Structure 1
Amino acid sequence: MSGPLKLKRESDPVNDPDPEIGTAEKPKKVVALNLDNGSLISHMPNFISYKESWQYFDYLDKNIPWTRPTIRVFARSHVQPRDTCYIASPGLPQLGYSGYKPHAYSWDEFPPLKDILDLIHKAIPGSSFNSLLLNRYKGGNDYVGWHADDEKLYGPTPQIASVSFGCERDFLLKKKPNRNSQDEMTSRNESEPPRKRSKKVNNVDQHSFLLKHGSLLVMSGYTQRDWVHSVPKRVKAESVRINLTFRKIL
C-alpha cells in the first residue's frame, strides 16, 4: 500500500470567487484526513477554477450520452436513481455492478475528459487512472446509497478521485459494520432511500464533506475495504450535479 496521499497545488494568480459570498476570494487548500488503519481521504474544495468548472459542466451536461439504467438489488429490478456513463481505456476487464454492465466509451470521444484526467494526474503524483464513471444527479431526489467501490478489478487498495460540478451535495462516509451486523448492509444498496444524516456526523465512525462546484475528493488506501460512502437525498438540492469518479482497473 502506498503512503499518505499528497495532492500537488498548482499556482493560480487569481483565486476563484465564492458564489455564496460574491467577490470574496478563497485560496486553494488541501484537507487531508487519515481515518484509521490506512484509510485516507484528501479534499481540495476548489481544484478547478469556478469559470472553467462551469465550462466543463455545460459540456458534460449536453454532450455525454447519459443513461438511467435498470439495476438489480435483492433480486428485484430498480431504475438507478441517477444518470450514468462509463469511459475506459481499451483492453480493460468489463465493469459490472448490481447486474448492470455499462458500455465503455473511449476517452477520444470526449476530449475535455482527457483534459480533466491530465489535471488529476498532475495533482496526484504517481496516479494512473484508466477508467471513469460519470454520474448526473438531476435534483435532490437523485442519490447514491451506501456502498463501497470494492470490486475486485480495482485491487485491494483502490485510489478513486472524485471531481464535482454544479450543485453542491453532501458526501457521507461511515465505518462498515462488524461481521455480526453485516447483513444489514449490501455493498450497493439502491433499493431504499438513504437514512437521515446522523447527528454525530463528525465522530470517528462517520464523516461528512460538502462537495462544491470544481472540488476534488480522493479516497485511497483501505477506504473501500473499511468504509462505505453515499450521496443522500436532499430536498433543497434543486439543480443538477455532475460527478466524475476516476479509477484504475488492474
Structure 2
Amino acid sequence: MNIERIKGRVNKMAPKMETLNTEENKSDNGSGIASTTDNSLNFKNGIIGKQQSENEDRSFLLKGTKLETEINNNRITDLGNGSEIVYFPRFLSYDDAWRCFDYLNTQIPWTRPTIRVFGRSCVQPRDTCYVASEGLPKLVYSGYQPQPYSWHRFPLLLQLLRAVEEAISGSRYNSLLLNRYSGGNDYVGWHSDDESLYGPTPQIASLSFGCDRDFFLKKRPSKSSPSQVLEKKSKDEPVSKRLKRSNNTDQHSFTLKHGSLLVMRGFTQRDWIHSVPKRAKVDAVRINLTFRLVL
C-alpha cells in the first residue's frame, strides 16, 4: 500500500479512545486507585545515526540527524505492588516516525507463522520478525521458534535501539520482537511476556508506528476469581465493555499513538496481562517494536 494512502487512513481513522480509568489523572489518596503523574524520569533525547549522502532514499532515514523526541509529556501509571507503566504519547516526532514506518513496512522480512493456541494450530493474526544479538537463548512462544536476524542487517533498528537505551535511564536491550498489524482484524490476545529468559522483572519498551490502536491491561485473574467466571460468561462481549464494568484499579487502557513509547516494568508481566484487540473500523497498518533484554 502506498505510504501516502496509509498516512491518510491513519489520520482519518485513528481511534480517539482515552484511558478508561477516569481516576488515573488523580493522585493516590489512599483509596487504592492507581495514580498517573507527569514526570521526566531522567529521560533524554536519543541520537540517531551517521552521515549519509543527500541522494539516498529519504524513506530509509534518520541518519545524520538528531532524533526529535518529546520526553517531558509522559504519564506514569502506578499499577501497585511494584508494577509500573510509563507512556510517552509522542516519543518520536511525527515526521521521524513516518520515516521509520516507511522503512519498517518495506524493508523488514515479515512472516505470518503458524502457532499453537489451546492445542490447536492457527495462523498468527499479525506479521512478525525477530532480531537478537548472537549467542542468546532461543525465543519460543505458542509453539513457534522464530529465527533471529542480526541487528546489523537493519541499521535503523540498531539506531532505534540506541535511542531507546539512551532515553530510558539504566536500560539495556539485546532483542527485538516486531509485529505488523495489517488492519483491524489483526490483533494480539490476552497474554503476558513472562518467559523465563527475560527474568522476574523485565523492562519492555514498546514503540508504535502507523495507525493508533487500543492497548488494554488487566490484573491477572486467579483461577477461582469471580471476575474470571464473569469473563467466561461474556466472552463474546467487546473487551471495552467488559473493562468498563470491572474495577478501575484492576484495568487500564491506552491509545498507542504513532511515534509513541510505552514502557512496562517491575512486576507488570507477573501480575498483569495485556492485549491489542480487534477493531472493525480500522483498516490501516500499525507496526510495533518491543525491545527486550534476554538474560
Shorter-chain TM-score tier:
0.7 to 0.9
Q: Displacement, 1:180?
A: 2.0
Deviations 1:193-250 (A, max 9, x none): 8943122478101100000000000000000000000000011221000000000000
SS at match of 1:172: strand
Deviations 1:146-165 (A, max 9, x none): 00000000000001000000
Q: TM-score, normalised by structure 2?
A: 0.72
Decide whether aligned partners of structure 1 residues 7 and 220 sit closer, same or farther in structure 2, where only a CA change above 3 A counts: farther
Corresponding residue of 1:205: 250
Structure 1: which 5+ runs fail to align?
A: 12-25, 186-191
Question: 1:219 aligned to 241, 264, 267, which one?
Answer: 264
Q: Displacement, 1:5?
A: 9.9
Pairwise CA RMSD of aligned residues?
2.4
Contact 2:74–2:89, Cα closer than 8 Å, also in 1: yes
Decide whether aligned partners of structure 1 residues 214 and 193 sit closer, same or farther in structure 2, where only a CA change above 3 A counts: farther
Map 1:21-170; keep pairs closer than 5 Å.
28-170=72-214
Question: 1:196 aligned to 211, 227, 239, which one?
Answer: 239
d(CA) in 2 for partners of 1:144, 1:126: 29
Q: TM-score, normalised by structure 1?
A: 0.85
As a proportion of its length, which structure holds more helix?
A: 2
Please state if 1:6 is matched with 2:48. Answer: no
Corresponding residue of 2:19: none
Contact 1:7–1:30, Cα closer than 8 Å, also in 2: no
Give the AA of the match of 1:174: K
Decide whether aligned partners of structure 1 residues 172 and 194 sit closer, same or farther in structure 2, where only a CA change above 3 A counts: farther
Q: Displacement, 1:65?
A: 0.4
Deviations 1:163-185 (A, max 9, x none): 00000000000000013259x69
Q: Displacement, 1:74?
A: 1.5
d(CA) in 1 for partners of 2:41, 2:157: 22
Decide whether aligned partners of structure 1 residues 193 and 238 sit closer, same or farther in structure 2, where only a CA change above 3 A counts: farther
SS at match of 1:245: strand
Decide whether aligned partners of structure 1 residues 224 and 194 sit closer, same or farther in structure 2, where only a CA change above 3 A counts: farther
Please tell me whether Structure 1 or Structure 2 has the larger radius of gyration of its CA atoms. Answer: 2
Please state if 1:229 is matched with 2:264. Answer: no
Aligned length: 226
Runs of 4+ in 1 over 6 A off after TM superposition: none
Please state if 1:240 is matched with 2:279. Answer: no
Contact 2:40–2:74, Cα closer than 8 Å, also in 1: no
d(CA) in 1 for partners of 2:222, 2:259: 35
